[in-house]
Chains A and B, each alone.
Chain A
Amino acid sequence: MLDDFMVRATLAGIGVAFAAAPLGCFVVWRRMAYFSDATAHAAMLGVALSLAMQISIVVGSVMVALAMAVTVNLLTWRGYAMDTVLGVLAHSALAFGLVAVSFLSGIRIDLMAYLFGDILAVSRVDLLVIWGGAALVVALIASRWSALLTSTLNEELAYASGLDPRREQLILTLSMAVTVAVAIKVVGVLLIAAMLIIPAAAARNLARTPEAMAMIAAAIGGVSVVAGLRAAYVFDAPAGPSIVCVAALLFAALGLVSWRNQRGT
């Protein structure tokens, strides 16, 4: 079954969608959409460094994305505004990454594959890495769910409950680094933020509790992957962007339905 590239692609996409769903909810609730962009840009630097040092691209991009996450946390604790820190780090990382790639003469690399992903070329090993990373992220978020939620609601409330909101933020940003790094292959650096945000934003219209929102986001992400790949096959369109297009259409459809319901009542 795994011999079929479409099956591997579907499984890879669903793995990413599952990890991105709960994480994406926090991205939406905490208004840190820009953070996922920044991590993705940092991952580009990771790709360049991995190629230069001839190590695994996933390992390289995880390392750089993690370093990015830790740096962002350290700088915001020191009082820098979050969007300034991200603006500086994200674009510096991207610039350094692009410069580093240009020095890699002799190695022919397909930059487009990293910018837009190459889900149809997912190997069995890639699949293992994606599902391993996704399982790690989902387990981490699930085990800290209440603590993460309390810290998201209110910093003081978290302290009064005996939690350290800074630790929870670190857990969240590290999970995001892992997710972004394993998702590069699937949707690419430019579109990973979409996989985090769009399913979660679409799920908001249907959910009454935070848990429901995460699960519905996972379902919407899964449907987007399956339908997006199918559409890409039928229309001979690029796979990663097609997945994001389906997610965006679902977002619009659910938004319209909920808007009509609200007007009706």
Chain B
Amino acid sequence: MNLVSIENLSVRYGANTVLRHVDLTVEPGEIVTIVGPNGSGKTSLLRAIIGATEPAEGQIKIKPGIRIGYAPQRLHFDSTLPITVERFMRLAERVRRQDCATALDAAGVPNLSQRQMSQLSVGQFQRVLLARALINRPEILLLDEATQGLDQPGSAAFYRQIETVRAETGCAVLMISHELHVVMSASDRVVCLNGHVCCEGTPAVVASAPEYRALFGTGTGGALALYRHDHDHDHEAAE
């Protein structure tokens, strides 16, 4: 059974339609990445899945009783709010200290539990958010621009961590990114979003799709040029 299945979803803010007729499914254990330019509705899609935004149309079916791990895009810790990593991790009800340590380990940041959240580096911070998302042993991880503010080696390391987590726990991952060239190797499937689903498929298929190239240009060079230009979605990935 699909963990998440979205049919014909439209989201509006007032008169402004940000998502039109979006279909999307996530199967167990799958890593799906949503790419798209700013204002393409990526975050609105994720907000709709967690129930923060009401769909104007269509429906979102989520496996009943599913455990969701969510890492938000921006989490601003005001310097007026003193909070240690451990206290932040244990904000949810009934989180044991031991589970907290295990999750920090899994996210690659052991030994941070007594640090103040506001004193973490960007990289440590993102990993603590990942750890918090992992704490209830989720069946699906939702990550919203989890590598924002990281440099390229940092992002690459973060995505390797996600792959490791998936390999160890078997959880599905649905993530938003604007860095397709970094995210590619880790994703099973890429969905290119721009208000609607422009194209989707394996990273190779999406990278070579004209819709994707129209949105992102070929300026990202290198990695993308490896794939032959072939825009028919029915075709297999470029050889």
Contact = CB atoms under 8 A, between A and B. Distances in A.
Interface of A: 28-29, 31, 79, 146, 149-150, 152-157, 159-161, 201, 204, 207-213
A154 B46 CA distance: 14
Interface string B86-115: 011001110000000000000000000000
B82 A155 contact: no
B95 to A, nearest CB: 10
Contacts of B144: 156
A154 B91 contact: no
Nearest to A149: B91
A150 B91 contact: yes
A160 B91 contact: no
Q: Which 9 A-B pairs have the closest CB atoms?
A: A160-B70, A159-B52, A160-B50, A29-B81, A156-B72, A207-B82, A159-B50, A28-B80, A154-B72
Interface string B34-48: 000000000000110
A146 B92 CA distance: 7
Contacts of B74: 154
10 contacts: A29-B78, A146-B91, A146-B93, A153-B75, A154-B72, A156-B72, A159-B51, A159-B52, A212-B82, A213-B81
A264 to B, nearest CB: 17
B142 A210 contact: no
A29 B80 contact: yes
Nearest to A203: B82
A211 B77 CA distance: 16
Contact of A204 (B50, B52, B72, B82): B82
Nearest to B116: A208
Nearest to A145: B91
Nearest to A27: B80
A137 B157 CA distance: 47
Contacts of B91: 146, 149-150, 153
B72 A157 contact: yes
B84 interface: yes
B83 A209 contact: yes
A119 to B, nearest CB: 28
Nearest to A28: B80
Given A157-B70, A204-B82, A209 B52 contact: no
Contacts of A152: 81
B128 to A, nearest CB: 12
B68 interface: yes
A156 B81 contact: no
A149 B72 CA distance: 15
Interface string B181-217: 0000000000000000000000000000000000000
A6 to B, nearest CB: 34
Contacts of A161: 70, 92
A157 B71 CA distance: 7
Interface in B153-187: none
Given A154-B75, A209-B87, A160 B81 contact: no
The winner among B73, B78, B142 for most chain A CB atoms within 10 A is B78
B84 A209 contact: yes
A208 B51 contact: no
Nearest to B93: A146
B82 A213 contact: yes
A156 B44 CA distance: 11
A153 B82 contact: no
Given A156-B52, A161-B70, 13 more contacts: A29-B80, A29-B81, A146-B91, A146-B93, A156-B47, A156-B70, A160-B72, A160-B142, A208-B82, A208-B84, A209-B82, A209-B84, A209-B87
B70 A210 contact: no
A222 B129 CA distance: 37
Contacts of A31: 78
A172 to B, nearest CB: 15
A201 B78 CA distance: 13
A28 B82 CA distance: 11
- With most chain A CB atoms within 10 A of its CB, the pick from B50, B74, B77 is B50
